[in-house]
Structures are given as structure tokens and as C-alpha cells.
Amino acid sequence: MRINKWLILYLLIFITLGMIPYKYVHVTKLVLILWVTISLVLSSCKGQSEQHNHIKEHSSRADILQTNLTQNTKLQEQISQVVRFVFQDSRGTFWFGTQNGLFKLENESLKLINEIKSETGRNVTIKAITEDPSGKIWIGHTDGISRIDESKVINYYESDGLISNDVWSIASDHRGRLWIGTIDGLCIFDGKQFELFKLPDGQIDTTLAISSTTMIHSISRDYSGAMWICTNAGLFSYKDDNLNHVSEFLNFGSSIINGVYHSKNGALWISAKDGLCRLHDGQVEHLTKDKVAIGKGIGSVAEDMNGNLWFVANQHDLYRYDGDSIIKYVKSENNKGPVIFQIFNDQSDRLWLVGYGGAYRMENEEFLHITREGPW
């Protein structure tokens, strides 16, 4: 039980007054009463001040909690804070590769594929997604590759023969073989065993945090069935069992090739360290030379429904090429979008832009934020 100190003080006063000779009582009473009154007033002010400080502190904490709740709610709305890859398979199903794993869009509801794990059971970051001719979905991630056949998931690691668990790109050829690009080179998987596909060593890209002489940035298949391999040693093509080192014959300005985009009109757009090039009928056109300042190279490229070409430069800047002019997309405070890792054109000719900051679509030339609730 808490004892009131002022109650004890009053008791002591009355006891003391009872012990003082009568002739001094009136003076003593006045002094004591005045002292007690002043003490009570001071204590009351102090109590109110302490109460005010307590309320202020409580309010401050509430504000912080509310801010954190708002931020957490915003993060929870995201498919993921980092979406590295979006893919639409032949059935029209969307797959989202994120730093929090793989999500599949089913009946306009996102489902996390929990079975994709590292060899030690940890979560992985998804970097690449493709589909083979039989309809199986293949995933490249930070700890190997995974195959999804309807609802069944099978994971493959270095212990199964994969040359490296650090997978950056993945593609299927017309025979159903899987081409796997890693930080340690390229290998091919026929469903039973992994075979190293030897390529020349390139140079390390010192502008990136992660790079190697054997880095495979991306792999894709064109409409004729040829495989295109983008490496730090240049651009390669492979068809009818013949490997062609394209960069030895054509000048893309750099031996570091980040990607190839296959245009609907048959042209190839080459994302190189020194700029964006167009390859058509054996001729190379340097589109961005003397037009766009290049530091960290060209990233993802895709066309929109109107035939405009969109591309990322220096990992941050977004540009549009309408066939005549290159126009830099100016972001605003209310229309920032993500730091773009990938630009993707879906089967409905909608343009997706995903990266650090989540998933977006470009609609009416503005970023439309796509959360876990859509809009799909």
C-alpha cells in the first residue's frame, strides 16, 4: 500500500502542536500552516509538470508507434520490397520473383511457394524464371535452381552437380534442355545431369558490387531457336550445335553485355556496358552514343504496346525511344516508381516495371503501384 507523505506530515504537525506551550501555539501554527501550504502548492505544480511530461512522452511514443504501424502496413501491402523478376507463362499465369521467395498469382490471389529453399532450409532470393516446352516452370535463385511441375517442387544444388549455387539467369532451349548462367559460368541441364559449357573468361565489372570473369548476366532464346548468352567476355549465340562469339565480329562498345531484347520486328537490342545498341541484318547501330551519359551501363529493355522502346540506364534512369527521339522519363515526388531491375511486357501488352520498391505497371505514362491485392 502506498502511504501519502502529506498525511504523515500533518500527523506530525498536530502531534508537535500538542507538545508546544500554549503561548507559542498561535505563532507556531501560523508558521507551520504557511510552510505546509507553500509545500503543497509547489508539489502540485511539480505533479502537474510531471503529469504533463508523462502525457507528452506518451503522446510521442504513440506517434512513433503510429508511424511504425503506417510504415509496416505499407510494407505489408507490397508484393515484396524488392521484386527482381516478373514472368507470365504460356497459360497466362503470373510469377513474381522477390527477395522473399517466389509468388504465384492464382485466381487473383498471391500464393507464396514455400518449398523453394536453400540446401540448409533457408529462404532464397529469386533472380530468374523460365518455362520449358513441356510447361514446367524453372527458377534460378541465390541457392541453386528449382523446378515446379504443377504443385510439385524439386530443388537442385551444387551437391547435385550444379556448377554454382549463385544463379543469375536461366532459359530453356527448343529441346527442353535448361541453360543456367551463374557467377562461375554456364552449364546445361538435360534433366539428369549438369554439363559445364565452357566460354572464354572476360573482365570484372568494377562498377558493380558483384562481378567475376565468368559472369553470365542473361540467357534468352530468339524466334529461330538460337540461344543468346550475355557475359563479361561479350555476346555469344548458339544454334545447331555451333557457338558464335558475336562480339569478335561486331562492335558493341564493350565486352560486358548485360542483356538481349528480342523485338517483335526481328531486331535485337543489346544492353552493353557502354550503351544501347540495335542489331539488325548484321549491322550495329549505337542508339545512345552521345545522347545518354553512360556510367554503369544499360539494364533491362522492353517494348510497349505502341512500339516505344523503354530502357534503364545507370541502374536508375528510365528512358523511352519512340523511333526518333530518346526521352528521359522524369519522376516526381508522387510518381517515383521503383529502382528498376526489370521491364516486362505481358501478353496483354501491359508494361511492368519491378525492382527495389516493389512492382508497378506503366499506365497513362504513370507508375501504377501493384500490391498484394492488385490491381491485376
Q: Which of 3, 2, 1, 8 is nearest to 39 (CA)?
A: 8
Give the CA dihedral 22, 27, 33, 35, nearest 10 degrees. Answer: -130
Amino acid of residue 119: E
Count of C-beta atoms within a 10 Å radius of residue 126: 27
CA distances from 328 to 259, 291, 294, 312, 361 (A): 20, 11, 13, 10, 17
CA distance 47 to 53: 10
Q: According to the model, what pLDDT value does residue 76 have?
A: 57
Residue 9 dihedral angles phi and psi, to the nearest 5°: -65, -45
Over its length of 376 residues, how does the chain's per-residue pLDDT go in tens digits?
Answer: 444 544 444 444 444 444 444 444 444 444 344 444 444 434 444 444 443 443 333 334 444 333 343 344 455 589 999 999 999 999 999 999 999 999 999 999 999 999 999 999 999 999 999 999 999 999 999 999 999 998 899 999 999 999 999 999 999 999 999 999 999 999 999 999 999 999 999 999 998 899 999 999 999 999 999 999 999 999 999 999 999 999 999 999 999 999 999 998 889 999 999 999 999 989 999 999 999 999 899 999 999 999 999 999 999 999 999 999 999 999 888 898 999 999 999 999 999 999 999 999 999 989 999 999 999 9
CA distance 270 to 279: 7
Amino acid of residue 251: N
CA distances from 136 to 9, 39, 171, 248, 269 (A): 85, 83, 12, 35, 28
Amino acid of residue 252: F
Angle, alpha carbons 315-182-293 (nearest 5°) = 20
Does pTM top 0.85 for this prediction? Answer: no
Three cell numbers, residue 350? 501491359
Q: According to the model, what pLDDT value does residue 333 have?
A: 87
**Pairing mode, if any, of strands 242-245 and 167-172?**
unpaired
Q: What is the largest CA-CA distance in the chain?
A: 125
DSSP structure string for 147-206: EEETTEEEEE-GGGT-S-S-EEEEEE-TTSPEEEEETTEEEEE-SS-EEEE--------T
Q: According to the model, what pLDDT value does residue 153 have?
A: 97
Count of C-beta atoms within a 10 Å radius of residue 103: 22
